A and B are shown apart, each in its own frame.
Chain A
Amino acid sequence: MRRTEITPDRLLGEVRAFYDPTRWRFLTVNATDTGAELLIDWIFVPIGRDEEPVILSSCVAYQAPLPSLAALIPASALGEAEMCDLLGVAFEGAKPGLFLEPDAPRAPLLKTPRERDDD
């Protein structure tokens, strides 16, 4: 997997520079807890061609605010909400609750799941 590392503040500019929805499909945004920080991948795949995907990556601190792609790519909102729910990623405008009930463990896919505020 070949990644292009970016800083979160460059995300929207980088995406605008290459993203043509008739040539690229936004596959998903993924987050991985590396143990020290979160690895965020925004994955784009070519439509109708067997070519390498474009993966924009950023390593960020837990709970660091991240921009949303939803205004540019409506389908990204769901992935951002899922990462907010399961890993506590602070995407702009995303709220927990897509999959988890209010009384469920918070950010359960983190290596050290967060304490609930009301615990």
Chain B
Amino acid sequence: MIKQLHIPLGSQHAALLEPLRLDFSTENERIVSVRSDMGYVHRGVEHACMNRFDFKKVPFVVARVCGLCAITHSTAAVLATEQIVECMVSERAQWLRMLALEFDRIHSHMLCLAHVAESSGYEALFMHTMMERERVMEAQEILSGNRVQFDYATLGGVTRDMDSQCAQALLAKVGALKSVLSGLRDRFEANWSTQMRFKGVGAITLEEAYRLGTVGPIARAAGVRTDIRIESSHLPYRALGFEPIVALEGDLYARNRLRLEEIAQSIELIERILEGLPEGAHLSKVRGRPKGEAMARIEAPRGELFYYVRGNGGAIFERLRIRTPTYANLKAFEAIFLGQEYSSIPAILASLDPCMSCTAK
């Protein structure tokens, strides 16, 4: 006999890292329908940037949209704004921005992997991953002076330059991370119990990934060759020989593997940046006030982050619009949950790496 249950999860729940409400309907233990609701942490960031803050302060304001991906927000905001003010950003500054973004990607992916391990009952792997992630947090502090909210990207460049001593320290940090990465990969990929837990679970097909407009690691793990690092020329990733990594299976296991491969790839990109960092000023003067409109897209750890700015020559933006990656992926979340066992929800949700703080902004 089929037993039907209606199970609300969230908006506050021990298995959820962020405020999101999911209403599941199950037949026995299998999910037959799901409805999501978000917006519990709306803070009116766009409204504040359109009414209260001078455009030069906006990159620092939008960095507060999210603690985890602060640098992606401030970088996208400056890339959009620099198109409508008088400003010549040096190549060095652009490379330093890429450096900060790649460190951000590594620590964000490691946090996601740690939470997947924790949600799957593998607490030792959670602690191990978080311990190794500390190396990246320390590297961010060396680069910017702070571990999390580092306000590194600013209009005209970056707030701090880097000397050879700093570059050597960063190379040592990523070198140490590289040496432990294969051990981590082994635990996530080759361990018998994690394979049992992750393979074939929470999958999305290539067709669904396209139809639902998914972005970031969720899309790439399902076979969609999409990455803003090749789709936009705002940052010179082509000079680093970047090519996106794509998997095929679309399941939780593929998402883990893809993130681990992207961590290795980001380490390589960081090494190339540090070895080939162009000479020049790290910060240029910005003249004038924003007039006109521009958009910028960058590849945040969770996927495509979009900023639109519009100025009328005044000090305050007429319009600022933020579209975050989780926002783009919410429809896919619902599709991924369908047909899954209810007990797999925490691990699947962690592997989708939702950031509701960004999404509700």
Residues of B within 8 A of A77 (CB): 331
Determine whether A12 belongs to the interface, using a CB cutoff of 8 Å to chain B. Answer: no
**Chain B residue, CB-CB nearest to A51:** B231
Determine whether B360 belongs to the interface, using a CB cutoff of 8 Å to chain A. Answer: yes
Contact with B along A96-109 (1 / 0, CB 8 A): 01111000000011
Determine whether B221 belongs to the interface, using a CB cutoff of 8 Å to chain A. Answer: no
Task: Give the size range of B's interface with the partner.
Answer: 35 or more
Q: Are A86 and B211 in contact (CB under 8 A)?
A: no
Give A103 to B304 CA distance when docked, in angstroms: 33
Determine whether B302 belongs to the interface, using a CB cutoff of 8 Å to chain A. Answer: no
Q: Are A32 and B213 in contact (CB under 8 A)?
A: no
**Chain A residue, CB-CB nearest to B292:** A1
Per the CB 8 Å criterion, the residue count for chain A at the interface is 31
Q: Are B39 and A27 in contact (CB under 8 A)?
A: no
Give A71 to B135 CA distance when docked, in angstroms: 46
Residues of B within 8 A of A27 (CB): 297, 304, 306, 323, 328
Q: Are A74 and B211 in contact (CB under 8 A)?
A: yes
Give A27 to B305 CA distance when docked, in angstroms: 10
Q: Are B310 and A32 in contact (CB under 8 A)?
A: yes
Among candidates A47, A50, A99, residue contacting B224 with C-beta atoms closer than 8 Å: A47
Determine whether B171 belongs to the interface, using a CB cutoff of 8 Å to chain A. Answer: no
Q: Looking at chain B's contact residues, is the secondary structure mostly helix, strand, loop, or mixed?
A: mixed
Among candidates B46, B50, B213, B318, residue contacting A73 with C-beta atoms closer than 8 Å: B213
Tell me the B231-271 residues at the A interface (CB within 8 Å).
231-233, 244
**Chain B residue, CB-CB nearest to A23:** B210
Among candidates A26, A33, A49, residue contacting B213 with C-beta atoms closer than 8 Å: A26
Q: Are A100 and B42 in contact (CB under 8 A)?
A: yes
Q: Are B42 and A21 in contact (CB under 8 A)?
A: no
Give A47 to B295 CA distance when docked, in angstroms: 17
**Chain B residue, CB-CB nearest to A41:** B308
Determine whether B91 belongs to the interface, using a CB cutoff of 8 Å to chain A. Answer: no
Taking A21-B210, A32-B319, A47-B231 as known contacts, 12 extra A-B pairs with beta carbons closer than 8 A to each other, sorted by chain A number, are A27-B297, A45-B231, A46-B231, A50-B230, A74-B211, A75-B212, A78-B330, A86-B46, A86-B47, A99-B39, A109-B50, A109-B319
A–B Cβ pairs within 8 angstroms, 30 of them: A1-B293, A1-B295, A21-B211, A25-B215, A25-B226, A27-B297, A27-B328, A30-B308, A32-B318, A32-B319, A43-B295, A45-B231, A46-B231, A47-B224, A47-B226, A48-B230, A50-B230, A50-B232, A53-B295, A74-B212, A74-B331, A78-B331, A97-B39, A99-B39, A100-B39, A100-B42, A108-B44, A108-B47, A109-B47, A109-B50
